[in-house]
Amino acid sequence: MVEVLGFDDDPRRIIGVSLSVGEGCTDFVYRYVAIPRVTATWIDSSDLERRGIGLVVYAENRVEEVLPATPSRRAIRVESDLADRVEQLEERLNRVEEALQGALAKMEELAKEVPREAPPPPPQQAPPQPTPPMDWAIRMERALGEVLESLRKLSSRVDALASAQPPPPPTQRAEEVKAPPSTSDLPSFLRDNPWVEILSKRGRGDER
């Protein structure tokens, strides 16, 4: 899925989108955000790291992966499933090959005995194939499209909710003014300060 953000977008939006990349999406291997380097200076990378999201930054004709993504657990599972299946197929292919080799050897022997009338060649048996890759890709793409669509709907609802939410109450609170400080617990800058005497004589007409 691709979310395009403008360079002048509100930084909070860029951060929000970056942190929610691929959220609600299950069929992915890696999640990355690619953002201008300057934008990356606003984002706490530990937030990305915790979510397993990788970070690619670009600036002045250079692109750099500064934080590698961690593959999704599902991706790891899918990967090992696939490996199993490939192994099974390999085994079956081997057996087919062996059988074919045997059959060929036998055919040659027969051909020597009956030089004129060769029997029709055995039907070529292809190894059993998984769903053709093209089909698989098309179906994946379609599914991805659906996921993307529902994600878009969801995010617009989240946006609407967020903007309607009242802000936290203002933190302004009247602070109690305590009793006047006694001479002993005056702040350090008042203690033994020659200015206290100088200033307390102001207005007596004996200066200037």
In angstroms, what is the minimal distance from the CB of 91 to another protein?
A: 45
Looking at the DSSP bridge assignments, the partners of residue 28 are: none
> Which residues contact residue 66 at a Cβ distance below 8 angstroms, ignoring those fewer than 6 apart?
40, 45, 55, 56, 57
Q: Tell which positions 152-171 bind another protein, by CB under 8 A.
A: 163-168, 170-171
Distance of CA 180 to the CA centre of its chain: 57
CB 42 within 8 A of CB 11: yes
Cβ 159 to another protein, closest distance in Å?
11
Of the candidates 31, 55, 69, 72, which one interacts with another protein according to CB under 8 A? 55
Site string (114-153) toward another protein, x via CB under 8 A: ----------------------------------------
Q: Any contact of residue 4 with another protein (CB under 8 A)?
A: no
Amino acid type, 40? A
Q: Which stretch binds another protein (CB under 8 A): 81-89, 102-110, 122-130, 172-180?
A: 172-180
**x-marked contacts with another protein along 26-45 as a string, rule CB under 8 A:** ----------xxx-xxxxxx
What is the Cα–Cα distance from 180 to 199, expressed in whole angstroms? 19
- In sequence order, the 6+-apart residues with CB closer than 8 A to the CB of 68 are 54
Question: Total number of residues binding another protein (CB under 8 A)?
Answer: 55
